[in-house]
Amino acid sequence: MPTTPFTPGSPGKIIAVHINYPSRAAQRGRTPSFPSYFLKPATSVAASGGSIERPLGTELLAFEGEIALIIGETLRRATPEQGWAAVSGVTAANDFGVYDLRQADKGSNLRSKGGDGFTPLGPGVIAAAEIDPAALRIRTWVNGELAQDDTTDDLLFPFGQLVADLSQLLTLEPGDIILTGTPAGASVVAPGDTVEVEVDAPTAPGAPSTGRLITNVVEGTVPLPPFSAPPQVDDVQLAEAWGSTEAVAPTPAGFDLTEALKAKINSVSTATLSVQLRKRGLDNVSIDGLSSTRPATRLVGRARTLRYIPLREDLFAGHGGGYNAQKRVVDSLQPGDVLVMEARGELGSGTVGDILALRAQVLGAAGIITDGGVRDLAIVAGLDIPTYYGGAHPAVLGRRHVPWDIDLTIACGGAAVQPGDVIVGDADGLLVIPPDLVDEVVDAAIEQEREESFIAERIGAGERIEGLFPLNAEWKVRYSEWKSRQR
């Protein structure tokens, strides 16, 4: 059963359903008794293969793979059976939204979901008359990895009911589009990502498919003007954009920086950890050139990141004041987090001061790292939280910086740092350890220091360095015997 190509036009109405999949309802923690809707403008329609701009200065662009119903006839006050019969075809859709812009809309979603290109549709259309509406499948991929996979067999509101419900008060017309909700798995994407959505009917004759609806995410280049409501992010928007509170700034699968693991990390020096990282080909994982307010305090935690861009006055007007990215990331810190800031090594202003450092300490953050300046250094140095910094400066950040991105890969002190990396610091310096290498590196470091303890013991007893450091075959045997006696 072949599909026909979807031709982007200008539908009279695009109507979207808020929650319709049980998996999404469970994720959001609420199950509606009746469907609710919002409108998207016809100018938001885009074809497969195009690009969507994440508006400059925003960070929470989220995808939502959906099944779109195409209305084929004029309909008013229909029954659910008549509602499905009025659907001419189904296609894939992506209901993009910028959660940073939701607050000013007061629930209308106009700016957050109505932007140009925010409703990609296509590329093919499956004829509705030849499929069972309860036997469709919706899947979404981000950069080739499956993010959403669900079916229509247990929808809260079947397709026929949605069409009939809307027709009670609205006249539905040929070409109108109804977006039928998204399953669990919708989340945030960033410039450089590619999102693909496919709808198919795997049990129907010929297993028809819409093909993959492809959208490439790019960064916008034009900031919102001062007369527009600026982006705002709070805990609710973060959780809803990412899908859940637990998904915000997600940690690598299968990795948990437990107290037991922290204790193991703290049992070895940064110097030893550096050796083990280098043995594994990682020779550029030290954050260099910084001083510490607490050099005697060991720092171990998970990285959260903040990037500053160079000051440009028009950009600072929209992004530098109010509840900006710097304040948002500090307010979102959790116990054990290490805030790592990219300030380009610019020391001509502060990037953090006493108030924000105190807030980080109260929230239980493990440390603060910036390759820029610190204000109120004497007060910051008096706090318990260790702060690593490039220098002191009395000026506010607006002299040199605009706070810009949160929880992206950054550069700090010559090292690349990703959200979730393990940060270890002491008087010797700072290391960045990829989460998937932590257990291996720490275990090897513990063994290295045990071996070095044996070598130091033998050197103290008068043995020559030759053959002992590093151990030759003879000394390795003696080391094994010594180690067995230590247990």
Q: pLDDT per residue over 278-335, tens digit each?
A: 999 999 999 999 999 999 999 999 999 999 999 999 889 878 888 888 998 998 898 9
Segment (H or E) for 379:
helix 377-382
Q: With contact defined as beta carbons under 8 Å apart, do 130 and 136 qualify?
A: no
What does the block give as tokens for 364? 């239980």
Beta carbons of 352 and 379 less than 8 angstroms apart: no
Q: What domains can you pick out in the chain, each with its CATH number?
A: 4-242 (3.90.850.10), 261-283+434-487 (no CATH), 286-428 (3.50.30.40)
Asked whether residue 299 is marked as a ligand-binding residue, the answer is no
Containing 272, the helix (H) or strand (E) segment is helix 270-279
* 428 marked among binding-site residues: no
The annotation status of 132 as a binding-site residue, yes or no, is no
Residue percentage of the chain with pLDDT more than 90: 73
- What pLDDT shows up at residue 57? 83
Give me the residues paired with residue 306 across strands: 341, 406
- Lowest mean pLDDT across 41-50, 99-108, 383-392: 99-108
Locus of tokens 């973060």: 238
* Ligand-binding site membership of 400 (annotated): no
Distance in angstroms (rounded) separating the CA atoms of residues 38 and 259: 46
Instruction: Give residues with Cβ within 8 angstroms of 325, minimum separation 6.
Output: 59, 306, 319, 403, 404, 405, 406
Partners of 197 in the beta sheet?
140, 213
Beta pairing partners, 417:
410
With left for phi above 0 and alpha for psi between -120 and 50, is residue 211 left, alpha or beta? left
pLDDT over 80 (residue 276) = yes
* Mean pLDDT of the region 3-22: 86
Yes or no: say if 95 and 211 are a contact pair by the CB < 8 Å rule. no
Neighbours of 219 (CB within 10 A): 13
- Rounded-to-integer distance, Cα 59 and Cα 407, Å: 9
H-state helical runs in 221-372: 235-242, 259-266, 270-279, 313-319, 325-331, 354-362
Sign of CA dihedral 395, 399, 404, 410: negative
What is the end-to-end Cα distance of the chain in Å, rounded?
71
Residues 6+ apart with CB under 8 A from 231: 55, 57, 58, 59, 98, 100, 101, 224, 319
Q: How far apart are CA 148 and CA 185, in angstroms?
A: 5
The confidence score (pLDDT) of residue 249 equals 58
Closest CA to 316 of 230, 376, 393: 230
pLDDT digits (tens, 9 = 90+) for 388-435: 999 999 999 999 999 998 888 899 999 999 999 999 999 999 999 999
What stretches of 294-362 adopt beta strand conformation (E)?
A: 299-310, 337-342, 350-352
Separation CA 329–CA 323 (nearest Å): 10
319-377 pLDDT, tens digit per residue, is 888 888 899 899 889 899 999 999 999 999 999 999 999 999 999 999 999 999 999 99
Q: Are 102 and 117 in contact (CB under 8 A)?
A: no
Q: What is the pLDDT of residues 154-213, one digit of tens each?
A: 999 999 999 999 999 999 999 999 999 999 999 999 999 999 999 999 999 999 999 999
Concatenate the DSSP letters of all residues of 106-153 into one string.
TT--HHHH-STT-EEB-SEEEEGGGS-TTS-EEEEEETTEEEEEEEST
Q: Of 13-27, 250-264, 372-386, give the lowest mean pLDDT range.
A: 250-264
Task: Sheet with 373-374: list strands edge to edge.
Answer: 350-352, 373-374, 391-392
- Which tens digits make up the pLDDT trace of 94-136? 999 999 999 888 778 999 999 999 999 999 999 999 899 999 9
Helix axes 259-266, 438-460, angle to 10 degrees: 30
Categorize the per-residue pLDDT at 1 as very low, low, confident or very high, splitting at 50, 70 and 90.
very low
* Digit-coded pLDDT (tens) for 209-265: 999 999 999 998 888 888 988 888 877 888 888 887 667 755 555 568 899 999 999
Q: Identify the residue with better confidence: 467 or 124.
A: 124
Give residue 328's pLDDT. Answer: 87
What pLDDT score was predicted for residue 469?
86
Annotated ligand binding at 353? The verdict is yes
Distance, in Å, from the CA atom of 143 to the CA atom of 135, rounded to the nearest integer, reads 27
- Specify the pTM: 0.58
Note whether 218 and 228 are within 8 A (CB). Answer: no
Tell me, rounded to whole angstroms, the distance of Cα 416 from its chain centroid: 17
The encoded tokens of residue 255 equal 């990795």
Question: Edge-to-edge strands of the sheet including 14-17?
Answer: 4-5, 124-127, 87-94, 65-71, 177-179, 14-17, 37-40
* The pLDDT of residue 413: 96
Cα radius of gyration rounded to whole Å, the chain? 28
Known binder of ligand: residue 277?
no
